[in-house]
């Protein structure tokens, strides 16, 4: 018989932090805190296995569960001298979800459970505070009604607002016990009206209703959306934590708060948090009241006018500092904690690894190495390579004038410009039209996740640094300004009012999440500083990693950028990008429109000097680092004009007729250009094109080598599917190389290889490797052909596929290990079997994706190549892969 | 040290027929005939290994070869008492190629080698016939000049014609010895003029020149074309046969001929052949003189006015009959022999397995089983499955009136209609424009191979039943009428004159190769009779084969045709083909243009009855045989109108605007529709479409089952790349099936499976098989994605790829075993590993291609499915595969 329940509290626990999979993060850490002797209210955890049972068995429970819950509840009753449902000293509990991966705001919580018309009177007597008791009952009805019975919270809020208006008061706290009693009656009537049945008065019914709601919420749409976005498997399940209530809202000697052992925004080793006096926990997180700072130092950052806990409640603050010390040393990582003070006694309700900005993560990790808490390898593991991106993008130019619209809390760093949208749906719609958007809300909620994900930045007018918007934006690496109270949002009218002026949907603003500023219009951005903690970590990273990291680059600017980000060569230089310059494309078009080989050769002769110059620049900049140069790849009609105007211009310039251009366009038109006349197929049918390119490469190499700069060209033949294609074109390369060597007297050290980007090439890698000296896996095209997905067309069904969980990851972002990955593995193995020193790399978009980089390490590639901006990400990911960073660990940190 | 040379002749030989790979077909059979005691002139074979050496070593020979040739030549000199290059009794030799696979007319031959200004006088004295000697010298100079020295034969023919004109004679035979002497002088001068050097007088130089020309010709363009067309590897090489000359042109007691042990056209067990008195062998094959029949019975078929050999040379005819008897019993197959009579002595110059029409092949194979010469399995192996096609196509309706243009020899059976073209190049050009052409020539030559291959039929005005045109056409299975002497061709003017009337390029004629008739215009055709030998062989075939054979069919007509050809079910019913009917497509278009699901469902409701009717018909016709029904596969915009006219019509009918249609077209437009929104991706995004189709299938199944006819639907989900796609759609199928079963009370026995047509599906076949009950390999799309070849676009480079030998076979015709085949094998293995009884089939075009069928047998598929016409081919190929028919054997028979 399985053990379904684990208890905690009172300095001991059946579980430990290591039992996260079974108890969920919250339950495991409650158990761990108990064992550490920290003050944790008594409670128990129903395991994730029950959730799985529940999901798989038509929302039923294991048969022995009910008895178990009764038993464990009995133990709490006994320890506290309270009775669940008792008329005197009633036991009230919270019911909270807690899954293996932290999923902020995604799961449902019910507080004050156990209250009914009878027990509320017991609570009156027990607390001596009628107002508190009925406020608790009111909150419970609202929360339970909303979460368990499906009566939307607006129903209750409307009644509350009406009531306040009737009484002529502004604040909830102005309502008396009698008002609240009347409100409870109204709430109960509203539930019966909307739900069709009376509010359940039996606490046991309440409890099982709440447990079922938590388990049921695991499969709700927003949880599924979150899991899809974070690649969390559906079968992990959530645990349920049932815990005796402690009250932060029982009077002025009560409080509740959230704190971080270090600053989650910049990583400073300073205690950091927010609290509210006489409040329940959700009041802080929900961002409805602006909370007070934890410390005096913290006042500067957030709410300078409110007293800090350090000053207001010094003894309790000292207790909390002890907890901080103990937990950070125990977990050796920055912790995010929730606490409640009930009648001047501190209770810990949660601890977890704290989310942090990448900047903070870097500082915390490098500081902790300095403090001896962790080693360098652990520091490397701690940084989320995906989020490193945050540091690598431009921030606002501090010199530029800012047309300020307002100011809020610097909730998630980085800056972004975009068009205003007022709801998540609009954000997704605009974004689908390739518009950059900034989501502006009073406050965000889990329903907004999808829209937040596609936004450049988030701006809210309410909520603090730990509000939903702030937490989620930091997690996503999106800039966020929260609690910008001097701005006003009218969501229905789609209007943002700032400085008395209305901004409408589509208006452009800039949001600076590092300073909290909201600025009118677009702003100039500046490059990030890649020094300090970043540079230190990158030094450690380069000591650890075993794979090389190169960049994809064609222009001198890209090549220089790549070097500055630490690229060790160019892994993909797409020569066709060099032909789109206006003075070049005309020759390219002449070449394509040529009616015979002679004409074609003349046009190519005109292109040769340009192409040679390109390579002279690249060789010079890269100074001896290897450069993989891919010969012409796209179908020729990508270079031809397609509008009448352009065609007329080209006809004139190329001395031909519109008719001739149309004819050629029709000839070159293809049903499926991705599978058409491109890549090495062009090299086979028009060898003079490749000859020109190869000549340009070798002439450039000879020129540069003559100046004393070493050169290392790697000629890459694209789209090979048949061994003979490679062989014929390698012979061409060798012949031209010999010619140029003879002409210039320079011996060039070069390699010839191929892209493995078609399933057949991967399967036939053995025979291709007989001639090829290197393979570069072109996983973009390999993904297209392996799945039969056209990257340009996948939008027609990708959303549906994501929504139905058919694709967890976009296979164009993270390599599909099972399918595409198997072909890459086969290609690598068969190639190496024939040529042991075959150089293997990857040059698709996957080269800059950490999960894909880990895969590349696993199968033994020599290097990855990605866009210049992603080079540091790839370096870090390669180091983590070399350390064998656990993939699960990665998701937990999210 | 390798043995490079093998001798033969005089009743013994170093080689045997089994050494075909080393000695080539001709050399191996000359050795075998010698050993059988047949009269074979002395000679020796230089092996194919020398050819390989020659090709790989820059056209040089193994160092010990020269001495070997001298030694072997010395043995012949000694045996015959003649001297190579001797002034008296000179030894003359023929030099002929002979490769492992018979390649008619593709390789070069030199006769009378050894003649020069001195030896020709020796030949005069030796033969006592000055005219013969100088005619031989003249022939030798022409042949050697053409083949070895590259002086085109037209140069010599022009001189000959001029000479005849000067002398006022019509026939070569009217020229006297003196004329020929003068002509020899002119020939030698012409060679010196064109070749730049004198004609080689040293016989040893002549010999090595000829040997080099034969080996060199292995790599010439026409040989390469032939090999590409017949999938013969380039590394097989050719042997060279050097043999003492015997002369069929030394007088009226000399002759030369070609004969078949049975009739190669209809397979009758009757001796069959042609000969010419006082002629050299090439005179018969070249078709320049119309030859005499071998037998009296044969006179009726060919040349009724000329005396037969049976009558004219009864003793030699009797000798030849003995040879026939001996060879056919020895080889147990029909032989094609060449013989020469020199001064009343019979010499055998060649025997080989005779090419034959498919009709003849069937008769010969079934007769030989009856005669006890071979067994049934061998009979099955003997039929070329590719050529079976010949028997399965319509022939001319005998009732229809024929507007006869003329008559020739029935050289290759079958009838065809097409447009006249006058040279091979035009044939290829017209054919590339999808025109059906008939190639009309005076006589064909090896240069015409390419053009013959694309023609529907061949018509020549000269040449006999064994002329180049006749032999090649029979080999290709193309109808041919040869020697139609009452028609006249003016190739330059592109005119065919028949009955005094001119027909031009592009005019339509019909050619009946079975009767020899040439008919004006197109003709009605009738279905072939599939009884007699065919039916008998098919009976044996079905006893032997282990794979099932199904047909791809949608319409009742196709389904009935499939049954008549022996299909055991339908392997692919493409439901989209059913939507193109005018009264249906309007609903289809309404469905596509619908702006919401309701509208879409209404349009689908209108389609349902049509679709149900289709399936009622199919189930009824197939009466319990399995039918694999593929749900909608192509992208939706294939059903939309694309011209303004059509759009206007649809807009009116569908009650929408042109604008709406244009918008929808733009929405549905895809860059690469082959990789786009199609197949199961439609089923996922528009489940109501698949629901309608599945409902139609099950309602039809229930209707038919109620009448007592069993039904066996197999629902096939196309284009699966992810397991979940299949699972979601299988759930849909099961749900609709349960609904219909509940509504109708009929339990339908059905299966749900998928097409494996994407590389990822093949790789993930294991997990897909957890749900799928059958796989059908869709090798068309699998070939597209594995190679990255769009079938629609491959024409842009396929010719170049064939020309450069990059692709030996078109991978869309014969499965690419190495790449696509590996994925099919992986799919089959992984699928079966999970589900041992997984039903496996193939439904691409490959299902009707014998080489691909053999592959399917190898990897253990349960069935193949192909177009109805190809069902008998697939049945035969499956039987041959079950018997393990050797692939090489197949090519030899070509």
**B728–A806 CB contact, under 8 Å:** yes
Write out chain A residues lying below 8 Å of B768, CB-based.
none
> What tokens does B383 get?
């039929």
Average confidence (pLDDT) over A43-61: 94
Q: Please check the confidence at residue A474 and state whether its pLDDT lies above 80.
A: no
> What is the rounded radius of gyration, in angstroms, for the C-alpha atoms of chain A?
32
Closest CA to B840 of B852, B824, B854: B824
Closest CA to A482 of A454, A504, A507, A452: A452
Q: Please check the confidence at residue B309 and state whether its pLDDT lies above 80.
A: yes
Range scoring the smallest mean pLDDT among A11-20, A637-646, A785-794, A824-833 = A637-646
What is the dihedral angle through the alpha carbons of A159, A165, A167, A170, rounded to the nearest 10 degrees? Answer: 100
Asked if B402 has any chain A CB less than 8 Å from its own CB, the reply is no
Q: Which residues of B50-76 are buried (b: 16+ CB within 10 A; e: fewer)?
A: bbbbbbeeeeebeeebeebbeebbeeb
Q: In chain A, positions 781-800, which contact chain B (CB-CB < 8 Å)?
A: 781, 784-790, 792-793, 796-797, 800
> What tokens does A353 get?
């690894």
pLDDT tens-digit profile of A556-568?
Answer: 888 998 999 999 9
Asked if A675 has any chain B CB less than 8 Å from its own CB, the reply is yes
Give me the interface pTM, i.e. the ipTM.
Answer: 0.79
Residue B890 pLDDT level (bands cut at 50, 70, 90): very low
Q: Please check the confidence at residue B282 and state whether its pLDDT lies above 50.
A: yes
Q: In chain B, positions 693-732, which contact chain A (CB-CB < 8 Å)?
A: 719, 721-722, 724-725, 728
pLDDT tens-digit profile of B603-642?
Answer: 999 999 999 999 999 999 999 999 999 999 999 988 888 7
pLDDT for residue B36: 96
Phi and psi at residue B265, in whole multiples of 5°? -95, -45
Write out chain A residues lying below 8 Å of B758, CB-based.
786-788
Measure the CA–CA gap between B442 and B512, rounded to whole angstroms: 18
Q: Please check the confidence at residue A1 and state whether its pLDDT lies above 70.
A: no
Range scoring the smallest mean pLDDT among A35-39, A724-728, B286-290, B493-497 = B286-290
Name the residue facing B806 among A724, A804, A819 (closest C-beta).
Answer: A724
**B675–A793 CB contact, under 8 Å:** yes
Average confidence (pLDDT) over B520-549: 90
The answer to whether the Cα torsion of B222, B227, B228, B233 is positive or negative is negative
Q: Please check the confidence at residue B132 and state whether its pLDDT lies above 70.
A: yes
B344 contacts: CB under 8 Å, gap ≥ 6:
B253, B315, B316
> What tokens does B36 get?
């059988």
Residues of A assigned a catalytic role: 468, 843
Shortest alpha-carbon distance between residue A785 and chain B (Å): 5
Regarding beta strands B525-526 and B395-396, do their DSSP bridges make them parallel or antiparallel, or are they unpaired? antiparallel
Closest CA to B136 of B298, B281, B15, B253: B281
Residue B106 pLDDT level (bands cut at 50, 70, 90): low
Measure the CA–CA gap between B758 and A823, rounded to whole angstroms: 13
DSSP strands (E only) in B527-669: 548-552, 570-574, 627-630
Q: In chain B, positions 746-775, which contact chain A (CB-CB < 8 Å)?
A: 757-760, 763-764
pTM: 0.80
Measure the CA–CA gap between A820 and A756, rounded to whole angstroms: 11
DSSP strands (E only) in A521-667: 525-526, 548-552, 570-574, 627-630
**A790–B725 CB contact, under 8 Å:** no
Asked if B673 has any chain A CB less than 8 Å from its own CB, the reply is yes
3-state secondary structure B331-361: HCCCEEEEEEEECCEEEEEEEEECCCCHHHH
Please tell me which residue of chain A has the smallest CA distance to B724: A806
A435 contacts: CB under 8 Å, gap ≥ 6:
A418, A419
Distances (CA, A) of B684 to A74, A428, A800, B720: 50, 21, 8, 11
Shortest alpha-carbon distance between residue B674 and chain A (Å): 7
Measure the CA–CA gap between A549 and A872, rounded to whole angstroms: 9
> What tokens does A700 get?
């450039």
Closest CA to A820 of A789, A850, A863: A789
pLDDT tens-digit profile of B145-194?
Answer: 998 998 988 899 899 989 988 888 887 778 899 999 999 999 999 999 99
Shortest alpha-carbon distance between residue B828 and chain A (Å): 16
Q: Please check the confidence at residue B450 and state whether its pLDDT lies above 80.
A: no
Please tell me which residue of chain B has the smallest CA distance to A788: B675
Distances (CA, A) of B226 to A142, A289, B850: 86, 87, 20
* Structure-token match 């069902």, residue found: B871
Measure the CA–CA gap between A565 and A550, rounded to whole angstroms: 10
pLDDT tens-digit profile of B32-90?
Answer: 999 999 999 999 999 999 999 999 998 999 999 999 999 999 999 999 999 999 999 99
3-state secondary structure A32-58: HHHHCCCCCCCEEEECHHHHHHHHHCC
Write out chain B residues lying below 8 Å of A801, CB-based.
684
Q: Return the residue in B678, B717, B722, B760 with the most chain A beta carbons within 10 A, the one to mutate for interface testing.
A: B760
Asked if B677 has any chain A CB less than 8 Å from its own CB, the reply is yes
Regarding beta strands B272-277 and B255-260, do their DSSP bridges make them parallel or antiparallel, or are they unpaired? antiparallel
Closest CA to B551 of B778, B867, B850: B867
pLDDT tens-digit profile of B336-383?
Answer: 999 999 999 999 999 999 988 888 999 999 999 999 999 999 999 999
Q: Please check the confidence at residue B442 and state whether its pLDDT lies above 50.
A: yes
Closest CA to B823 of B850, B789, B767, B783: B783
Shortest alpha-carbon distance between residue B164 and chain A (Å): 45
Asked if B580 has any chain A CB less than 8 Å from its own CB, the reply is no
Measure the CA–CA gap between A139 and A160, rounded to whole angstroms: 11
pLDDT for residue A893: 33
The percentage of chain B sitting over the pLDDT mark of 70, rounded to a whole number, equals 95
Q: Name the helix (H) or strand (E) containing A665.
A: helix A658-668
A79 contacts: CB under 8 Å, gap ≥ 6:
A10, A42
Shortest alpha-carbon distance between residue B821 and chain A (Å): 10
Report chain B's mean pLDDT, rounded to a whole number: 90
* Structure-token match 């007509």, residue found: B557
> In a 3-state reduction of DSSP, which class is residue B664?
helix
pLDDT for residue A359: 86
Residue, of A855 and B870, whose pLDDT is higher: A855
Total count of residues recorded for chain B: 894
**B721–A676 CB contact, under 8 Å:** no
Query: Is residue A825 a contact partner of residue A831, using CB atoms and an 8 Å limit?
Result: no
> What tokens does B815 get?
């499965």
pLDDT for residue A557: 82
Shortest alpha-carbon distance between residue B823 and chain A (Å): 9
Measure the CA–CA gap between A320 and B446, rounded to whole angstroms: 98
Range scoring the smallest mean pLDDT among A86-100, A374-388, B573-587, B808-822 = B573-587
Measure the CA–CA gap between B25 and A181, rounded to whole angstroms: 109
CB atoms within 10 A of CB A312: 14
The percentage of chain A sitting over the pLDDT mark of 70, rounded to a whole number, equals 96
Q: Please check the confidence at residue B648 and state whether its pLDDT lies above 90.
A: no
> What tokens does B307 get?
């005396």
Average confidence (pLDDT) over A145-167: 90
Average confidence (pLDDT) over B787-812: 83
Report chain A's mean pLDDT, rounded to a whole number: 90
**B685–A800 CB contact, under 8 Å:** yes
Residue B475 pLDDT level (bands cut at 50, 70, 90): low
Q: Please check the confidence at residue B472 and state whether its pLDDT lies above 70.
A: yes
Q: Please check the confidence at residue A104 and state whether its pLDDT lies above 70.
A: no
Average confidence (pLDDT) over A54-68: 94
Average confidence (pLDDT) over B790-803: 81
Regarding beta strands A409-412 and A480-482, do their DSSP bridges make them parallel or antiparallel, or are they unpaired? antiparallel
Average confidence (pLDDT) over A71-81: 96
Alpha helices, H only, B707-793 = 723-744, 759-763, 765-768, 779-787
pLDDT tens-digit profile of A324-367?
Answer: 999 999 999 999 999 999 999 999 999 999 989 888 999 999 99
Asked if B882 has any chain A CB less than 8 Å from its own CB, the reply is no
Query: Is residue A656 a contact partner of residue A593, using CB atoms and an 8 Å limit?
Result: yes
Measure the CA–CA gap between A84 and A122, rounded to whole angstroms: 11
Residues of B assigned a catalytic role: 468, 843
CB atoms within 10 A of CB A354: 23
Asked if A321 has any chain B CB less than 8 Å from its own CB, the reply is no
Count of CB pairs separated by less than 8 Å, A with B: 170
pLDDT for residue A885: 59
> What tokens does B818 get?
């190495």
Which strands, in side-by-side order, build the sheet including A292-293? A292-293, A272-277, A255-260, A335-342, A345-353
Q: Which residues of A830-855 are buried (b: 16+ CB within 10 A; e: fewer)?
A: bbbeebeebbbbbbbbbbbbbbbbbb
> What tokens does A572 get?
């993909």
Residue A394 pLDDT level (bands cut at 50, 70, 90): low
**C-alpha B594 chain-centroid distance:** 50
Q: Please check the confidence at residue A434 and state whether its pLDDT lies above 80.
A: yes
DSSP strands (E only) in B505-562: 508-512, 517-520, 525-526, 548-552
Measure the CA–CA gap between A845 and A866, rounded to whole angstroms: 6
Distances (CA, A) of B604 to B82, B418, B874: 91, 43, 37
Task: Enumerate the β-bridge partners of residue A353.
Answer: A335
């Amino acid at each position: 018989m399985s053990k379904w329940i684990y208890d905690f509290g009172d300095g001991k626990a059946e579980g430990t932090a290591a039992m996260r999979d079974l108890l969920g993060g919250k339950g495991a850490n409650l158990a761990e805190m108990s064992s550490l002797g920290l003050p944790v209210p008594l409670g128990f955890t129903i395991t994730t296995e029950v959730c799985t049972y529940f999901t798989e068995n038509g929302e039923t429970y294991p048969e022995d569960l009910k008895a178990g819950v009764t038993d464990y509840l009995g133990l709490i009753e006994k320890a506290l001298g309270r009775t669940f449902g008792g008329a005197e000293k009633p036991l009230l509990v919270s019911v909270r979800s807690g899954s293996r991966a932290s999923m902020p705001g995604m799961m449902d919580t019910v507080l004050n459970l156990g209250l009914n018309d009878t027990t509320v009177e017991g609570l009156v007597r027990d607390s001596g505070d009628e107002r508190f008791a009925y406020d608790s009952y009111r909150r419970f009805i609202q929360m339970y009604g909303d979460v368990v019975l499906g009566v939307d919270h607006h129903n209750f809020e409307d009644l509350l607002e009406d009531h306040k208006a009737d009484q002529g008061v502004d604040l909830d706290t102005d309502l008396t016990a009698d008002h609240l009693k009347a409100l409870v009656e109204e709430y109960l009537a509203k539930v019966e009206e909307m739900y069709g049945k009376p509010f359940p008065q039996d606490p046991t019914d309440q409890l099982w209703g709440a447990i079922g709601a938590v388990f049921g919420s695991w499969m709700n749409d927003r949880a599924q959306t979150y899991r899809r976005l974070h690649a969390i498997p559906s079968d992990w399940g959530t645990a349920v934590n049932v815990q005796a209530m402690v009250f932060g809202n029982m009077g002025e000697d009560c409080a509740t708060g959230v704190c971080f052992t270090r600053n989650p925004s910049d990583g400073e080793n300073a205690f950091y948090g927010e609290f509210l006096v006489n409040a329940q926990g959700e009041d802080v997180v929900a961002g409805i009241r602006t909370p007070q700072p934890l410390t005096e130092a913290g006042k500067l950052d957030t709410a300078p006018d409110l007293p800090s806990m350090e000053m207001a409640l010094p003894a309790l603050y000292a207790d909390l500092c002890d907890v901080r010390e103990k937990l950070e040393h125990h977990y050796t990582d920055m912790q995010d904690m929730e606490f409640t003070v009930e009648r001047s006694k501190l209770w810990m309700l949660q601890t977890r690894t704290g989310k942090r900005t990448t900047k903070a993560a870097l500082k915390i990790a490098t500081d902790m190495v300095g403090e001896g808490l962790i080693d360098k390898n652990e520091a490397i593991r701690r940084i989320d390579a995906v989020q490193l991106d945050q540091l690598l993008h431009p921030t606002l130019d501090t010199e530029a004038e800012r047309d300020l619209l307002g100011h809020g809390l610097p909730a998630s760093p980085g800056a972004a410009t975009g068009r205003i949208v007022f709801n998540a749906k609009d954000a997704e719609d605009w974004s689908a039209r390739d518009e950059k958007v900034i989501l502006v809300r009073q406050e965000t909620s889990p329903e907004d996740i999808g829209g937040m994900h596609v936004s450049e930045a988030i701006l809210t007018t309410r909520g603090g640094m730990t509000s939903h918007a702030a937490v989620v934006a930091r997690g996503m690496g999106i800039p966020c300004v929260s609690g910008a109270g001097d701005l006003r949002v009218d969501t229905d009218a789609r209007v943002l009012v700032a400085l008395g002026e209305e901004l409408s949907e589509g208006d452009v603003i800039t949001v600076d999440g590092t300073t909290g500023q909201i600025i009118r219009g677009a702003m100039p951005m500046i490059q990030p500083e890649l020094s300090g903690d970043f540079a230190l970590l990158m030094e450690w990273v380069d000591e650890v990693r075993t794979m090389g990291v190169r960049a994809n680059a064609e222009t001198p600017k890209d090549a220089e950028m790549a070097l500055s980000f630490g690229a060790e060569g160019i892994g993909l230089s797409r020569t066709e990008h060099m032909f789109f310059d206006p003075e070049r494309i005309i020759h390219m078009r002449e070449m394509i429109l040529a009616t015979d080989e002679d004409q074609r050769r003349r046009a190519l002769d005109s292109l040769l000097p340009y192409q040679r110059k390109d390579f002279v620049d690249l060789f010079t900049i890269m100074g001896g680092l290897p450069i993989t140069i891919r010969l012409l790849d796209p179908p020729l009609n990508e270079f031809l004009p397609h509008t009448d105007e352009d065609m007329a211009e080209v006809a004139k310039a190329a001395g031909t007729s519109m008719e001739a251009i149309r004819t050629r366009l029709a000839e070159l038109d293809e049903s499926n250009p991705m599978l058409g006349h491109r890549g090495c197929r062009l090299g086979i049918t028009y060898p003079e094109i490749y000859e020109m390119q190869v000549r340009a490469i070798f002439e450039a190499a000879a020129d540069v080598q003559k100046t004393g700069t070493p050169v290392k060209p790697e000629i890459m033949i694209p789209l090979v599917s048949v061994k003979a294609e490679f062989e014929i074109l390698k012979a061409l390369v060798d012949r031209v190389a010999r010619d140029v060597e003879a002409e210039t007297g320079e011996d060039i050290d070069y390699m010839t290889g191929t892209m493995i980007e078609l399933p057949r090439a991967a399967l036939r890698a053995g025979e291709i490797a007989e001639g090829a000296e290197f393979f570069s896996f072109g996983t973009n095209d390999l993904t297209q052909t392996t799945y039969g997905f056209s990257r340009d067309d996948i939008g027609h069904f990708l959303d549906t596929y994501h929504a139905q969980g058919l694709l967890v990851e976009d296979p164009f972002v993270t390599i599909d290990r099972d399918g595409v990955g198997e072909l890459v593995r086969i290609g690598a193995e068969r190639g190496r079997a024939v040529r042991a020193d075959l150089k293997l790399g990857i040059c698709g978009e996957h080269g800059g994706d950490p999960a894909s980089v880990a895969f590349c390490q696993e199968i033994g590639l020599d290097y990855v190549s990605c866009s210049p901006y992603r080079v540091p990400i790839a370096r870090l990911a390669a180091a983590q892969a070399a350390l064998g960073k656990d993939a699960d660990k990665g998701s937990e940190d999210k």
